[in-house]
Structure 1
Amino acid sequence: MTKDRSKRIPLPPQKLLLETFRYDADTGLVWWRQPKGSRKLDKSGGTVGGSGYLMVRVDGRLYTLHRIIWKMITGNEPMHLDHINGCRIDNRITNIREVTRSQNNQSIGLTRANKSGYVGVRYSTKDRSWTSYIKSGSKRIHIGNFKEKKLAVESYNKKAIELHGEFAMRKVQHNIFMLAKEFGSENDGN
């Protein structure tokens, strides 16, 4: 197993978090237990940070709220957490799961560098074809070259589900949505 080199600030003790916040599992929000400075009891804790996650300050240090909530509920401090539905501000405990770094990477959606609009598919000007590819662990797997974009996307979706299971669903759903948008709603993604 490879060593995870993530630099995480250790979270405060669970007892302190439970004394500081009240958690609403239905909304995924935390509420301050005591007013202090600009903190008000009728306002939920946290602000959206540059990364898109809700952030909260405890004892002068800034933390992602989903990690605070996880520790409040479970008492554990995992290396990686995943928002199952992909929404970084949806901190309902039913939407957060502990994952490995590899699983977390498998569930990441489309990146800014993507030009095709589809996860795992690019156009090869050299071959004049659509290429589908996927990563598994540290290995990049070439799935195939296709004359039709739709076939390249569908081959990626099939391989992603085969290799990554539930962690591929966000990417596959994105691709199915984009296929329906580009080729019409009769497309079922298979």
Structure 2
Amino acid sequence: MKKTISREALKSASLEYNDVSGDFNWIKKRRGPIKVGQKAGSINHAGYVVIKIDQMKFMAHVLVWFLKTGEWPTLDIDHINGIKTDNRFQNLRHVTRSVNLQNQRKAHPNNHTGLIGVNKKGPKRFLALIQIDGIQKSVGTFENAIDAHNAYIEAKRKGHPGNTL
């Protein structure tokens, strides 16, 4: 079961949302070292802002969506520009998990080229691969990694209509 909070509890949590910065700030003195006006939350291991309210931790982008729409999200809340700490409402969208996963911007750590969608095939050969509808497809083989990556991005824009790359 997903943890939720009521709008009343969120509004009375001594927090104020700044539409321009996308940050939550504390508006009342709280226990400990927290000061009025201080930015609320901390960055978790995955790079997202997390805010603790009533002994429960909430992702800031989910709280923004709830605050602005009045609806608890049933899908993923995606950061359109890929910056996990940019919680301005205009940078957020309610999307399926598969659309959200289309916005991967970094290659996996075990990728030796460091470029998403590109694998080293030989001394001077690079293979661009993309997965569309669960099927891996070759975009082509290239003499350099940059050309392979550019071909991958072009294929991604055509084959993944929800991506923001």
Q: Same fold (TM over 0.5)?
A: yes
Counterpart residue identity of residue 113, structure 1: N
Please tell me whether the aligned partners of residues 132 and 143 of structure 1 are also in contact (alpha carbons under 8 angstroms): yes
Counterpart residue identity of residue 147, structure 1: E
Counterpart residue identity of residue 65, structure 1: A
Q: Residue 160 of structure 2: SS of its match in structure 1?
A: helix
1:46-99 deviation line (CA, Å, top 9, x unaligned): 111111111111110111111111111111222301111111111111111111
Q: Where does structure 2 lack aligned partners over 5 or more consecutive residues?
A: none
2:9 aligned with 1:16 = yes
Could you tell me how far 1:166 is from its partner in structure 2? 5.3
| TM-score, normalisation: structure 1 | 0.76
Partner of 2:28: 34
Please tell me whether the aligned partners of residues 134 and 142 of structure 1 are also in contact (alpha carbons under 8 angstroms): yes
Number of aligned residue pairs: give it: 161
Residues 70-89 of structure 1 aligned to structure 2 (within 5 Å): 70-78=65-73, 79-89=75-85
Partner of 1:123: 120
2:98 aligned residue (99, 102, 110):
102
Q: Where does structure 1 lack aligned partners over 5 or more consecutive residues?
A: 1-7, 170-190
Cα RMSD (Å) of the superposition?
A: 2.0
Q: Residue 167 of structure 1: SS of its match in structure 2?
A: coil
Higher helix share: 1
1:55 aligned residue (50, 57, 77):
50
Partner of 2:59: 64
Q: Residue 27 of structure 1: SS of its match in structure 2?
A: coil
Could you tell me how far 1:40 is from its partner in structure 2? 2.4
Please tell me whether the aligned partners of residues 11 and 68 of structure 1 are also in contact (alpha carbons under 8 angstroms): no
Identity of aligned residues (%): 25
Q: Distance in 2 between matches of 1:86 and 1:148?
A: 26
Counterpart residue identity of residue 96, structure 2: T
